[in-house]
Structure formats: structure tokens, C-alpha cells
């Protein structure tokens, strides 16, 4: 919902659109993209009134959107996804000129580290960060004059973010207008020319980035101050190991290739948050997937949960043993978008809300309401389809789903992806609350400041192996990045 919102773009600028989840950002960009067609007010493009009735009309006028939730078709090739809905043709027919497609997409693929040799591979075979780059390439190849980027770096590591920002600078110099949505303060002040803030569907203010310090921006967004971003850790004295790995191996999909995670040894104590750092291809995500039994193959090595041996067989077995895994891709592997919030919350804990195989609706609803209240999830009703919520509120529903399984070990992969500043602070506090209750957390985050701020220790992976381990005192961005790139900092032996 929007109420009397005004917004303008200048040629060759990056205009950051900021606000909490539910502030109206997604609604505004859906109007720009021709998805929402019923609205009051006027929209002009280069001084001429426009009203798009379809996304195709918006694209034809030079407006392209990189949505936070990806719109790729997994069974189709990378190239077919990039040109989906706008395939090149000859003589008005539907004969596809593959050579033209490859030539047009090649320069953007090179900028985004996408191999042209893999353009004919189905998208389903790629990791989430690679899919994210395919989505970006899809938008860039449309010759957009106005480019909307909704959390485009949510699954990118530091080197990939640098490449994307270099590409944005190139697009700016070519006169492209860019609307950039991000909850990451570091990104906002690195890239913004101007900032506009929405709150509860209303315009709060617009300012030059240099004239809008961080504290003022936060006050505009949430109408209150945040005195401390990361809460102090709550030490659990004499805590025993809740999770221990010794020489744990996650084999590659192709048996001829090296393991995606090879010989990993680590220990996480009750009440501890251990960060897992590494660049793309480090094996961090695969380590979580192997622990959770996501692969239809045996993962050699020793795993112990609360001192008892555990062999990851499948996710159901992992949940029964007290493991929970929040994935980076909530749309594909976290939620069932057409289902209600209530049903999504109980999705992984049906045995706990059933008696003799019969579902207990009152208990299911009471459990869902409890998590909605504790996580401050904004919704109209528990019966609301989870796909209609904002990205940040969807993320909170995923957290609620896993909390309902009452895990002892929580695997978190980018838990604040697409979450606004105020909600991030709430999630950080909840994580500390869970560790105070003796939960053990393994954390992957694409935001290095977040990883450093939350972790009691950080273990760095490089090419599937542990490269280094840092205490909270020794963990700096420079040390962690050096180890992630294969250079162990002096005096820091591989763990």
C-alpha cells in the first residue's frame, strides 16, 4: 500500500530506496515494472506520461527489474533464462538466433564471472549465488535505461559485490538510472547518490547521500534510534560440545572432482555462535547441506550431536536428532509460497502438532501465533499466503518454522537476507537469546561485518578445507579475507 508517494530519478544516478519491510518499496517498484496496474497518480518517463499494463510494456520502454526473489526456470538453460520472453527472432518468426544470444550476453557474463561455456546448462545445476548472477545478467541484457535492483548482492561475496559495483559505475556513465534497494548500510553509502525513505507506505524524505548520515537514515526508516547493532554475547559457563565434526567430507556431485568439503573438523559448544567464512566455492553451503542429509550419498567422517554419533541420512533424520537448517534460498527450499503462514510454520514439525497421526488445528494455530508475536511478523492473518508477505517477513516465517522443531543445533545461512535494519537487530537479539538457552549456532553470512559482530569464533574455509580459525578478538576483515583467499594469517594455524 502506498499513500501519496513522490519519487524521481535523474540520468546517471544511483537512487537508493530505503525502508523497513512492509514500507512500500516492493509496491513502488512493481508499479514501475508494470506488475501493479491499478493505482492513482501519474508516472512520467522522460517527461511523457506512461501507464504500463504489463511487464513487457515496461521492458519495451527501457525499465528492467532485478527482483529479490528470482524468476528463473530451473529446467531451462542459462541462455534461455536470460532471454526468456524476449528471444531474438528473424522476419517476425520464432527462429532463435543462438549466436546473437551468446554474443549479446557474453560481455555481461564476463563481468559477472559467468562462463560462456556453461550457457547451455540447465539452471538447476547451479548454486544459489550463481543463480543470483544469472538473474542480474537477465536484466542487464535488456538495454535498460532505468534499472531497478532489489537486494542484488544478497547472495554475493565481497569480490562479486565489487565487480557488480564496478558494473554499476559503468552503467551510470552510460546514462542509466538505477534504483537500488538494500538493507546493508555499507552498500548504501558506498553506492548512493541520493536516498529516499518510505515508512508505512508514505514518503518520509529524500536527501543527497552525503547530507544524510547513518543515524538520520535509521531514524527516518524506523522512527527510533538503534544504540547498538550487535548484542553482547551471553556466556554459558562450562558448556559441553553440542556438535562435533572430525574429518567430515561432502563428496562432489561428479566423483572425479575433489570433495566440495574435505576433511572438515570443528566443534560448537552449547551457547556458542561459530561463524563459517569463505568465498564462493569454499564449500560452506555444501557443508551445511551434507550435515543436514540433503545429498543422496554417504558423507564420510565422524559427526557427534551431544556426544552421540550421528550419520546424516536425510533431513527428516536430522530434524529428529535436533538439527535445523535455514537455507539461503527461502523461495525454493524454505517456504511453500501458496500455503498459509500457519501451515508453513508447522511444516517441519507436524509430528509435534499431531496426535496418533491426526492434526490438532488449535495447537497448530496457537504455535504459529506464538512465533508471529515473538518475531514481530507483519501480516493480515495467519491464513494469509506466505508468498504475499514482504521478503523480510517471509524470512521470519522460515525462522519460526525451524524454531518450532526445538533444535539443539541451528544451521543459519544468511539468516538476515532481505531483512530491514530494525528486524535484523531483533534477529540478532533472538540469536543471543537462543544461545542463552544453550542452543549451538553455526552461521554463514554474506555480510562480513555481521559475521564478525555475531560470532564467538570464526572458522574460514578455502576450497573445501579449514584454512584458519580466529577468536573473536583476532577476527578482522583483513584476516578473514586473507584466509578465505588461501593465505593463512601469521600465527593462525589451520584448525
How high is the pLDDT of residue 114?
A: 75
DSSP 208: E
What pLDDT band is residue 469 in, cutting at 50, 70 and 90?
Answer: very high
- How far is it, in rounded angstroms, from Cα 9 to Cα 196? 11
DSSP code per residue over 440-482:
EEEEE-S-HHHHHHH-SEEEEEETTEEEEEEETTT--HHHHHH
Comparing 31-35, 91-95, 374-378, 426-430, the range with the smallest average pLDDT is 91-95
What are the pLDDT digits (tens) for 60-107?
A: 898 988 877 777 888 998 888 888 877 656 555 444 577 777 877 777
CB 413 within 8 A of CB 285: yes
> Nearest Cα to 417, choosing from 292, 331, 288?
331
Nearest to 66 by CA among 163, 164, 158, 162: 164
In the chain, what are the domain boundaries?
Answer: 14-222, 241-484
Residue 491 is predicted with a pLDDT of: 39
Specify the CATH class of 241-484 in words: alpha beta
Q: How confident is the model at residue 456 (pLDDT cuts 50, 70, 90)?
A: very high
pLDDT in tens, 304-331: 999 999 998 899 999 999 999 999 888 8
Q: pLDDT class for 225, splitting at 50, 70, 90?
A: low
d(CA 492, CA 495): 8
Task: With CA atoms as reference, report the closest residue to 477 among 230, 277, 220, 234.
Answer: 277
* pLDDT per position as a tens digit, 337-372: 999 999 999 999 998 888 888 999 999 999 999 999
Domains 14-222 and 241-484 belong to one CATH topology: yes
Please check the confidence at residue 420 and state whether its pLDDT lies above 80: no
> pLDDT tens digits, residue range 278-296?
987 789 999 999 999 998 7
Q: Using CA atoms, how far apart are residues 322 and 287, in angstroms rounded to an integer?
A: 17
62's torsion region: left (phi>0), alpha (psi -120 to 50) or beta?
left
In whole angstroms, what is the distance from residue 84 CA to residue 26 CA? 22
CA distance 281 to 222: 37
DSSP secondary structure of 225-286? --S-SSPPP---TTPPEEEEEEEEEE--SSTTSPPSEEEEEEEEETT-EEEEE--TTSSHHH
| Strand 241-250 to 48-49 pairing | unpaired
The grid cell for 101 is 544470444
- As a whole number of angstroms, the distance between CA 412 and CA 247 comes to 21
pLDDT, residue 82, reads 86
What radius of gyration, in Å, describes the C-alpha atoms of the chain? 23
Q: Spelled out in words, what is the top-level CATH class assigned to the domain 14-222?
A: alpha beta
Rounded Cα distance, 109 and 7, in Å: 32
Task: Work out the widest C-alpha separation in the chain, in whole angstroms.
Answer: 75
Q: Which of 157, 219, 206 is nearest to 179 (CA)?
A: 206
Q: Is the pLDDT reported for residue 490 higher than 50?
A: no
Distance of CA 69 to the CA centre of its chain: 9
Query: Which residues, in sequence order, are CB contacts of 274 under 8 Å at separation 6+?
Result: 266, 268, 440, 441, 442, 443, 455, 456, 457, 458, 459
DSSP output for 305-338:
ETTEE-----HHHHHHTTEEEE-S-IIIII--TT
Find all residues with CB under 8 Å of 125, minimum gap 6, and list them. Answer: none
Alpha-carbon gap, residue 20 to 22, rounded angstroms: 6
- Report the chain's mean pLDDT, rounded to a whole number: 86
Predicted confidence at residue 298, as pLDDT, reads 81
Of 24-28, 96-100, 126-130, give the lowest mean pLDDT range. Answer: 96-100
What does the pLDDT read at residue 384?
96
Length of the chain equals 495
Task: Give me the residues paired with residue 250 across strands.
Answer: 261
| Residue 59, pLDDT above cutoff 80 | yes
Q: What is the per-residue pLDDT for 362?
A: 93
How far apart CA 485 and CA 132 sit, in angstroms, is: 22
Position 186 confidence tier, pLDDT thresholds 50, 70, 90: confident
pLDDT confidence tier of residue 495, bands split at 50, 70 and 90: very low
| pLDDT score, position 127 | 75
Amino acid at each position: 500500500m502506498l499513500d501519496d508517494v513522490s519519487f524521481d530519478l535523474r540520468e546517471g544516478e544511483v537512487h537508493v530506496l530505503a525502508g523497513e519491510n512492509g514500507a512500500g518499496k516492493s509496491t513502488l517498484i512493481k508499479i514501475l515494472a508494470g506488475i501493479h496496474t491499478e493505482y492513482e497518480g501519474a508516472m512520467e518517463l522522460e517527461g511523457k506520461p506512461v501507464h504500463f499494463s504489463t511487464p513487457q510494456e515496461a521492458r519495451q520502454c527501457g525499465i528492467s527489474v532485478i527482483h529479490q526473489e528470482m524468476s528463473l526456470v530451473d529446467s531451462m538453460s542459462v541462455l534461455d533464462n536470460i532471454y526468456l520472453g524476449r528471444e531474438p527472432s528473424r522476419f517476425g518468426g520464432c527462429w532463435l538466433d543462438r549466436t546473437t544470444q551468446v554474443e549479446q550476453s557474453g560481455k555481461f557474463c564476463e563481468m559477472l564471472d559467468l562462463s560462456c561455456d556453461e550457457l547451455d546448462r540447465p539452471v538447476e545445476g547451479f548454486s544459489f549465488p550463481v543463480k543470483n548472477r544469472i538473474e542480474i545478467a537477465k536484466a542487464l541484457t535488456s538495454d535498460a535505461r532505468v534499472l531497478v535492483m532489489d537486494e542484488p548482492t544478497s547472495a554475493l561475496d565481497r569480490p562479486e559485490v565489487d565487480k557488480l559495483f564496478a558494473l554499476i559505475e559503468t552503467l551510470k556513465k552510460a546514462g542509466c538510472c538505477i534504483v537500488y534497494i538494500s538493507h546493508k548500510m555499507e552498500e548504501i553509502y558506498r553506492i548512493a547518490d541520493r536516498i529516499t525513505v518510505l515508512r508505512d507506505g508514505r514518503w518520509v524524505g529524500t536527501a543527497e547521500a552525503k547530507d544524510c548520515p547513518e543515524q538520520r537514515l535509521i531514524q527516518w526508516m524506523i522512527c527510533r534510534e538503534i544504540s547498538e547493532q550487535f548484542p553482547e554475547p551471553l556466556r554459558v559457563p562450562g558448556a559441553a560440545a553440542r556438535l562435533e565434526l572430525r574429518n567430515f567430507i561432502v563428496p562432489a556431485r561428479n566423483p572425479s572432482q575433489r570433495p566440495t568439503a574435505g576433511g572438515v573438523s570443528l566443534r560448537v559448544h552449547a551457547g556458542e555462535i561459530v561463524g563459517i567464512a569463505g568465498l564462493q566455492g569454499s564449500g560452506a553451503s555444501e557443508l551445511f547441506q551434507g550435515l543436514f542429509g540433503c545429498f543422496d550419498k554417504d558423507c564420510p567422517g565422524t559427526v557427534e550431536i551431544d556426544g552421540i554419533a550421528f550419520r546424516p541420512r536425510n533431513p527428516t533424520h536430522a530434524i529428529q536428532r535436533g538439527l535445523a537448517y535455514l537455507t539461503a534460498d527461502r523461495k525454493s527450499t524454505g517456504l511453500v509460497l501458496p500455503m498459509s503462514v500457519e501451515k508453513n510454520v508447522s511444516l517441519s514439525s507436524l509430528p509435534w502438532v499431531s496426535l496418533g497421526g491426526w492434526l490438532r488445528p488449535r495447537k497448530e494455530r496457537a504455535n504459529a501465533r506464538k512465533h508471529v508475536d515473538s518475531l514481530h511478523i507483519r501480516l493480515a492473518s495467519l491464513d494469509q499466503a506466505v508468498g504475499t508477505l514482504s521478503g523480510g517477513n517471509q524470512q521470519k516465517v522460515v525462522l519460526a518454522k525451524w524454531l518450532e522443531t526445538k533444535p539443539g543445533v541451528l544451521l543459519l545461512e544468511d539468516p538476515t537476507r532481505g531483512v530491514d535494519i530494525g528486524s535484523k537487530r531483533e534477529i540478532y537479539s533472538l540469536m543471543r537469546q537462543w544461545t542463552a538457552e544453550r542452543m549451538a549456532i553455526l552461521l554463514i553470512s554474506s555480510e562480513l561485518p555481521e559475521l564478525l559482530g555475531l560470532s564467538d569464533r570464526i572458522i574460514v574455509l578455502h576450497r573445501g578445507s579449514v584454512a584458519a580459525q580466529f577468536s573473536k578478538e583476532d577476527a578482522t576483515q583483513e584476516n578473514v579475507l586473507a584466509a578465505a583467499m588461501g593465505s593463512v594469517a601469521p600465527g593462525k594455524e589451520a584448525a
